[in-house]
Amino acid sequence: MYAINEYRDRKRGSGSPVCYLVVPCYNEEEVLPETSGRLLRKLNSMILAEMIHPNSKILFVDDGSKDETWSMIQDLSEIDDRFSGIKLARNRGHQNALYAGLMYVIERCDISISMDADLQDDIEVLDDFVAKYKEGCQVVFGVRDDRKTDTQFKKQSAGMFYRLMKFLGTDVIANHADYRLLSRKALIALSQYPEVNLFLRGLATDIGFKTGIVYYSRGERFAGESKYPLKKMLSFAIDGITSFSVKPLRMMMVGGLLIALISLLGLIYALASFFFWYTVSGWTTTILSIWFLGGIQVSCLGIIGEYVGKTYFETKRRPKYIIEEET
């Protein structure tokens, strides 16, 4: 209730939106000093240009870091009240940390802009995000206009991921990560999605409000290591597919029917050979067919298990995150 009253008080007589920059952090002690400095300078310049309200802030979300990230966030909030922070009780993953930050600011702002702490997202286009909001967009997506900084493998795998998502019926914006603006109206809508398995890129498009796109060039990571190795990227891709589409299950059914049809044709051929031609039974073809069908069955069971596992976690209704401390 205090947050709501404070928000209303500081909005009186101002036409500029209160903006919160929401930045999830996990072991970011190497990059945080530079990130905080650049973001503060950009925030101040936007305030001076009267694009956003003077009470706009930067919120760092510590996702259970094991280094000095949280103590650095505390120091920043003591030095300048434009910085604030929350600390999750344990590492919950990037999507949950980002969601925690968005839900924390929902009653404190008019707009939120989420970004990563590694300074790869171009903060100079923040003005464009706000301009799109003032044009009436409730959700604004930051979309990369090139992938020059990516390895060849990452370029190819990212392209395959977006094509696969589209093929499976998931509405996602290609080359969009989590650099986006959400209005307070969009945040309230997002809070109505209760699922535990979060895929915010899909949820942001699923809300259905007026959207806009801001194109930008993604730079090199300023310091530290990427928090998304190949294993996490694959897991994230599976989460995105299984959270928004049941098409893999339908493909299994179609595949089963096709295999049954092929088996029927094989049976007809075998009977014809038995009655009209001399045949010698082959060990190789028998073993290969068993292995082939066995591999398909195991793969199908794995896909079913993925959906069953997600249903299991959803029914338990455990909290997505727990805030341990805040500045």
DSSP 140-192: EEEEES--TTS-HHHHHHHHHHHHHHHHTT----TTEEEEEEEEHHHHHHHTT
By residue count, the chain amounts to 327
30: amino acid identity, one letter: E
Higher pLDDT, 25 or 217: 25
Residue 7 has pLDDT above 80, yes or no: no
- Count CB-CB contacts under 10 A for residue 49: 11
- Residue 202 domain flag: yes
Average pLDDT over residues 4-19: 63
Q: Which of 90-94, 130-134, 266-270, 296-300 has the lowest mean pLDDT?
A: 266-270
Percent of the chain with pLDDT over 70: 73
Q: What are phi and psi of 118, to 5 degrees?
A: -85, 0
Q: How far apart are CA 46 and CA 264, in angstroms?
A: 69
- Residue 263 domain flag: no
Whether 103 and 24 have beta carbons less than 8 Å apart is answered as no
Q: What are phi and psi of 45, to 5 degrees?
A: -65, -35
Residue 32 has pLDDT above 50, yes or no: yes
- Residue 279 domain flag: no
Q: Which two tokens stand for residue 119?
A: 């300074």
Handedness of CA 318, 320, 325, 326 (dihedral sign): negative
Average pLDDT over residues 56-77: 96
Residue 26 has pLDDT above 70, yes or no: yes
Please report which confidence band the pLDDT of residue 1 belongs to, taking 50, 70 and 90 as the band edges: very low
Where is mean pLDDT largest: 41-45, 193-197, 318-322? 41-45
Say which CATH number the domain at 115 has: 3.90.550.10
In sequence order, what are the residues at sequence separation of 6 or more whose Cβ sits closer than 8 angstroms to the Cβ of residue 119? 31, 34, 35, 38, 219, 221, 222
Q: How far apart are CA 218 and CA 147, in angstroms?
A: 7
Adjacent-strand bridge partners of 213: 141
Average pLDDT over residues 265-270: 68
133: amino acid identity, one letter: Y
Adjacent-strand bridge partners of 22: 59, 114
Q: What are phi and psi of 72, to 5 degrees?
A: -70, -40
pTM: 0.76
Average pLDDT over residues 151-167: 70
Residue 246 has pLDDT above 70, yes or no: no
Average pLDDT over residues 23-34: 94
Whether 215 and 253 have beta carbons less than 8 Å apart is answered as no
Task: Write the burial class of residue 262 (CB in 10 Å: 0-12 exposed, 13-18 middle, 19+ buried).
Answer: exposed
Number of structural domains in the chain: 1
Where is mean pLDDT largest: 107-111, 145-149, 197-201, 238-242? 107-111
Q: Which of 2-6, 31-35, 155-159 has the lowest mean pLDDT?
A: 2-6
- Residue 201 domain flag: yes
Please report which confidence band the pLDDT of residue 302 belongs to, taking 50, 70 and 90 as the band edges: confident
Residue 86 has pLDDT above 90, yes or no: yes
Range of the domain at 217: 2-245+319-326
